[in-house]
């Protein structure tokens, strides 16, 4: 989309270790980046170190969109600021809805084409940090899918947390915050190896098998609707980017090949929407 620089949108993502373009790995900002690129929007990224997210969000006047288990506010990214409409949107799903509504005809078209998104995942135990609560019903089927995909991947992030490529200047503070949230005694408690790791990988593979079934309804392309990508593919794609950035590389290669390579093909199919700007 041709756009003057004063109209360039500001997109806020979490700073990671340089080179940032290959290390940014937060799934919800990734969903929004994929949606911005899908819509061919002019934007520029502001990289926020993890310990500064709350302040940045407060300074922008965007309320917290998530709560910790104890009910206190959890300040998160992404945020998108659109100077053209004076809008500030602080949730990845809301960003996709906003882009579709405000810029319906740009880029690759409709982010929310009708389709059946009947994936359900109910975690065995409560997630460490509850997901955002959503009450609105706009694109309710996609919103439901987003919640269940988030739950499915979040239940297995113990495989990924230890390898998060933290930004060096704030790595210690970030790790300390994760230790506090998980109520463990040290960062090394996040390392999961051996038999325990294999068991969690099996569960992850099984869970992705259930999700993968939806991709087998139309095998004319890598997306749920075959050759037509939609926001549902970008939701899964956001998590695949977290996996790529945080799993040991042999495990990422293994996961790409699970269930006949469904997720490797999806990751590659979304490549055209992965520019980090």
Ligand X SMILES: N[C@@H](CCC(=O)N[C@@H](CS)C(=O)NCC(=O)O)C(=O)O
Where along the sequence are the contacts to ligand X (CB under 6 A)? 14, 26-28, 50, 53, 65-66, 76-78, 91-93, 132
> 61, 69 in Cβ contact below 8 A?
no
Minimum distance from residue 26 beta carbon to ligand X (Å): 4
DSSP state letter for 16 = B
Measured from the CB atom, the residue of 91 and 224 that comes closer to ligand X is 91
CB of 175 to ligand X, least distance (A): 12
Dist CA 123 CA 152 (whole Å) = 7
| Smallest separation, CB 269 to ligand X (Å) | 22
Which CB sits closer to ligand X, 65 or 237? 65
> 222 vs 267, which CB is nearer to ligand X?
267
Tell me how many helices (H) and strands (E) the chain has: 9, 6
Chain centroid offset of residue 124 CA: 22
> Rounded to the nearest whole angstrom, what is the least distance from the CB of residue 261 to ligand X in the complex?
26
Which residue shows structure tokens 């995942």? 121
Pick between residue 14 and residue 155 the one whose CB is nearest to ligand X.
14
CA distances from 159 to 186, 196, 214, 246 (A): 17, 10, 24, 8
| Cβ contacts of 186 within 8 Å, gap of 6 or more | 179
**Nearest CB to ligand X, comparing residues 155 and 222:** 155
Between 82 and 222, whose beta carbon lies closer to ligand X?
82
Least Å distance between CB 71 and ligand X? 16
Minimum Å gap between C-beta 9 and ligand X is 16
Instruction: Give 166-234 as a 3 state SS string.
Output: ECHHHHHHHHHHHHHHHCCCCHHHHCCCHHHHHHHHHHHHHHHHHHHHHHHCCCCCCECEECECCHHHH
Q: Under 8 Å CB-to-CB from 226, ≥6 apart: which residues? A: 218, 219, 220
């Amino acid at each position: 989309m041709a756009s003057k620089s004063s109209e360039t949108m500001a997109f806020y993502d979490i700073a990671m270790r340089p080179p940032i373009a290959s290390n940014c790995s937060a799934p919800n900002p990734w969903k929004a980046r994929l949606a911005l690129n899908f819509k061919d929007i002019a934007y520029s990224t502001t990289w926020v170190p993890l310990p500064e997210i709350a302040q940045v969000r407060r300074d922008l006047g965007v309320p917290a969109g998530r709560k910790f288990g104890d009910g206190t506010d959890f300040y998160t990214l992404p945020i998108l600021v659109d100077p053209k409409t004076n809008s500030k949107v602080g949730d990845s799903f809301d960003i996709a809805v906003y882009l579709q509504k405000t810029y319906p005809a740009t880029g690759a078209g409709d982010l929310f084409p009708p389709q059946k998104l009947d994936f359900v995942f109910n975690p065995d135990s409560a997630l460490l940090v509850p997901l955002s609560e959503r009450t609105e019903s706009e694109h309710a089927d996609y919103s439901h899918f987003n919640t269940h995909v988030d739950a499915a991947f979040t239940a297995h992030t113990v495989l990924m947390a230890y390898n998060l490529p933290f930004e060096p200047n704030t790595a210690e503070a970030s790790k300390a915050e994760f230790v506090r949230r998980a109520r463990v005694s040290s960062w090394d408690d996040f390392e999961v190896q051996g038999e325990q790791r294999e068991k969690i990988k099996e569960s992850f593979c099984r869970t992705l098998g259930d999700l993968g079934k939806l991709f087998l309804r139309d095998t004319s392309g890598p997306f749920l609707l075959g050759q037509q990508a939609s926001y549902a593919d970008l939701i899964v794609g956001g998590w695949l980017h977290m996996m790529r950035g945080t799993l040991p590389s042999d495990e990422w290669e293994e996961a790409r090949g699970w269930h006949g390579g469904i997720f490797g093909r999806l990751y590659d199919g979304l490549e055209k929407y992965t520019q980090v700007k």
